[in-house]
Amino acid sequence: MRLLALALALAAPAFAETDAPARLERSHPDYVRCETITSIGNRARRERVCKTNAEWKRLAENSNRNAREVQERGVTLSNPGN
């Protein structure tokens, strides 16, 4: 037991000298941000989702692109002559 305490005491300064990871700014692409998402049709059920800013941005871009495609497809189907 004393040997373990001695080993920990000697190793402690080595751990203290290592640099802690730098904190990222909120606008950094690798900053992890969490949001609470409510399920459609169920106000009581909520889920906490955590992603990096880059992943949230990619998700928003994909959603916008899909919405645009649906709108364009709907216009061409309703007006086949145009």
Could you report the per-residue pLDDT of 35-61, keeping only the tens digit for each? Answer: 998 888 877 888 999 999 999 999 999
CA dist., res. 29 & res. 58, Å (int): 11
CA dist., res. 18 & res. 8, Å (int): 16
pLDDT at 76: 60
Q: Which domain holds residue 66?
A: 23-82
Percentage of the chain exceeding pLDDT 70: 65
In a domain, 9, yes or no: no
In a domain, 15, yes or no: no
* Number of domains comprising the chain: 1
